[in-house]
Structure 1
């Protein structure tokens, strides 16, 4: 069997022969049908996460069938279908003990601090796992945590969406954005999708977007015209390129929830605008096991996986290039 390895920063993913070790006492071995490819994988390759332990098997979108388990595993059985968080929490800190394990300072990320998903067989810690209901599509299983649960956390728990809220989603044609449109709809809001790719507009409407705006315009004015006063929530998934317009798209008392991206460049922050309108800016990172359970419930019928392409592991570097060129609508999956 082969797995994809990142051996050096700013280098291509290399395929090497690999057999996973036997699972440790608190681990299981998962056989994957698919694993997801996230833009964070590209940022890891480019060196934006200094704690990455090289060489490493990248990928944190993991899920499948348990085929082996360690001797301490009691909550999962061989044959269970599971989805994994993108990290392993410590289970002992104040954040883990309060149900906010996404903030755990000791968490170890799959694909960075330990081997990840670019392999048919993956060893995963039970602290990161949730059982998957039978109604959930196979393509959803690996992307449930990083995409769908992450969005539930950002829009539902951090953004505190209410029924009838207008939510602007930047980068709506990407692997996160297409699912954000569905999440807003599922939680009772009105999705406004921002995309710079004209060819993606029709698909966004099909997914539930009520309006589509373009970054080539002053879309903050378009948002105010659509809503009457501005967006209740902006889900900022792009970063520097859209941040200023996103902030100006908010209504008085609106919430800007930042989920992307992690590049270190600063953004302009007009304090007067924030103070006078009583706006808030919050970061949202990852998801918890409770978020993942909720996401899987929503995935039974309300949120469908949007898969731009399914590729072989050997094509991963071309897959990265297509993502960078914005040629993928939705999520990219590796099939095994």
Structure 2
């Protein structure tokens, strides 16, 4: 339920409503707007008496939330959420570019790539220290040593850094090095991990599962918000279909649809969506035109020898060319990069 307060409702009246929500066994989630305050009452609707709130001072109306996801819904919060990653704002007017290698391989590798993407105009540096791989024989990442290298590269270039966390037990450790966490497609429904991320309050990118519906994806985001973390960015990275010409099938429809359904920012990973470096630039332009708030792109200085995802990684010079083209496109659609 959403309790909509009257424009002139004072702090005491709002507090009284919140206390009554908690008395029903619900969580109270106030959202303070410029003219009105709305309070989300989140929980099992059994036993919830909306009439009690309609009779309380300062309450204008009570509105049911029809979607199964509540906190991420535009029904609760109509304004766009802007996620602030230590000064980098995702979901604002400026389009955000996150670039870097799939996996951190060495100090020289991550530093060279970090300097290159920084020069090209990237806002954040990505790099995997823990790599959930299909094969147990594939490179699994450098672990904490990789986190240290990523943090060092971020400090020396001034880029904010994001990396994937795959185990609930590692959330605190990874959060101590990274400015932003990432939940990969394989872990979208790892509910224990979602809960730990929620408790951490650290900004997070939540990637869509390879076979997840949009509702399942938003319900995964709901877990994070329910546990206290509102700093969630959704990332479309393609879904598995019968098509085998590309690694995945990019769901372009999801971008404008999510903008209707949720207030959370939406970015796109064209590298995983296509699996082919030569398709990344054109797909990147397309998703920005469709309304995405930014991109997360795999960039490697030697893709043919990359330890992970070389075929979908673009060279730094191609990333620089893409940034020039994105700047021109952003101006057309009334945004910047």
- Band of TM-score, shorter chain: under 0.3
Structure with the largest fraction of helix:
2
Q: Which has the larger radius of gyration?
A: 2
Structure with the largest fraction of strand:
1
Q: Which has the higher contact order (CA 8 A, sep 6+)?
A: 1
The alignment's TM-score, normalised by the length of structure 2, stands at 0.26
The alignment's TM-score, normalised by the length of structure 1, stands at 0.26
